[in-house]
């Protein structure tokens, strides 16, 4: 048994070309889910195989990669994916949002605004925003084709009728470029406004479900709402206990068994930069 030799960034060039074709189509039809022949990756489905395949297909030797999970660079899965690309592609990596050319993320968009030379790759578990309303792909495909999003509006309306407001706090559906309703991946809805008119290219990869979709730069992304119940961003009303930020999404950390809590930035790079800047000043 001879030791297998892997290509740059793991995937063979034919596979990368197939994925790039899907990405180009996705960019051409913003918010549309393009089927692609997702491969078995050496990490489990659900661990970001879609994002990893997209990143592998777009990565070049000069890229600088940042990988985050829950906003943090040091969560185990982010560490594992970063190491995977260091090993298979030998690319430089960073934790600084500003220095990265490719950012792979799970569940967050960095607080630092993205720039035109950057690509953000989202890991997506269930790409179909209508899936929990209609389990059949044959049906949801037809709904997208006809832009028939009635069931989604009914669902949001029923939320309001029952709870007084829309009871979706993450994976909050958006409409891309006035056409396709899209799942932003399970990011908290706090991050939704960052997707609109973003200078960076946003790519979404769902490995198990075999779909790729995209938001091209400077595309309008609107969170679904009603005139009398406009979309609201949610953020716990506290300041970060480490950097004092009042504008970042916060992780709640349980500090004892007597109800003690503290709140810290979920975006570790943002938090560290702020602390470094604070000390320098």
- Give contact residues for another protein (rule: CB under 8 A): 1, 4, 6, 10-12, 35-42, 44-47, 49, 69-72, 74-77, 79-80, 83, 106-108, 125, 135-138, 163-165, 167, 169-171, 186-190, 208, 210, 234-236, 241-242, 249-253, 255, 262, 264, 266, 268
240 has catalytic annotation: yes
The distance of closest approach from Cβ of residue 172 to another protein in the complex, given in angstroms and rounded to an integer, is 9
- Which of these is catalytic: 48, 51, 198, 265? 265
- Which of these is catalytic: 48, 51, 71, 271? 271
- Which of these is catalytic: 46, 240, 259, 260? 240
Q: Strands 174-176 and 180-182, how do they pair?
A: antiparallel
The distance of closest approach from Cβ of residue 78 to another protein in the complex, given in angstroms and rounded to an integer, is 9
198 has catalytic annotation: no
List strand residue ranges (DSSP E) for the chain, in order: 34-35, 64-69, 92-93, 102-106, 119-123, 174-176, 180-182, 201-206, 211-215, 221-223, 250-254, 261-265
The distance of closest approach from Cβ of residue 189 to another protein in the complex, given in angstroms and rounded to an integer, is 7
C-alpha 172/C-alpha 150 separation (Å) is: 16
Helix (H) or strand (E) holding 132: none
Whichever of 53 and 219 has its CB closer to another protein, that residue is: 53
The distance of closest approach from Cβ of residue 116 to another protein in the complex, given in angstroms and rounded to an integer, is 26
C-alpha 237/C-alpha 128 separation (Å) is: 31
271 has catalytic annotation: yes
265 has catalytic annotation: yes
C-alpha 18/C-alpha 24 separation (Å) is: 10
* Burial annotation 253-264 (CB, 10 A radius, 16+ → b, else e): eeeeeeeeeebb
- Which of these is catalytic: 31, 48, 50, 207? 31
Q: Which residues are catalytic?
A: 31, 240, 243, 265, 271
């Amino acid at each position: 048994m001879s030791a297998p030799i892997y290509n740059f960034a793991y995937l063979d060039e034919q596979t990368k070309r197939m994925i790039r074709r899907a990405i180009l189509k996705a960019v051409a039809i913003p918010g549309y889910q393009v089927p692609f022949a997702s491969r078995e990756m050496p990490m489990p489905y659900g661990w970001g195989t879609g994002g990893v395949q997209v990143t592998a297909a777009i990565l070049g030797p000069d890229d600088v990669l940042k990988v985050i999970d829950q906003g943090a660079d040091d969560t185990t899965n982010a560490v594992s994916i970063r190491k995977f690309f260091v090993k298979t592609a030998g690319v430089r990596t960073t934790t600084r949002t500003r220095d990265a050319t490719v950012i792979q993320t799970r569940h967050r968009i960095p607080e630092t605004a993205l720039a035109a030379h950057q690509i953000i790759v989202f890991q997506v578990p269930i790409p179909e925003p209508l899936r929990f309303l209609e389990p059949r792909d044959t049906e949801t495909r037809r709904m997208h084709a006809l832009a028939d999003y009635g069931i989604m509006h009914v669902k949001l309306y029923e939320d309001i009728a029952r709870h007084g407001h829309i009871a979706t706090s993450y994976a909050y559906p958006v409409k891309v470029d006035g056409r396709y309703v899209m799942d932003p991946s399970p990011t908290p809805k706090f991050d939704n406004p960052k997707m609109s008119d973003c200078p960076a290219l946003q790519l979404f990869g769902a490995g198990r479900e075999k779909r790729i979709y995209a938001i091209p730069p400077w595309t309008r992304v609107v969170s679904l709402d009603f005139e009398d119940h406009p979309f609201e961003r949610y953020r716990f009303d506290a300041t970060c206990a480490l950097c004092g930020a009042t504008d970042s999404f916060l992780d709640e950390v349980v500090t004892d068994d007597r109800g003690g809590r503290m709140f810290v930035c979920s975006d570790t790079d943002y938090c560290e930069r702020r602390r470094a800047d604070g000390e320098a000043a």
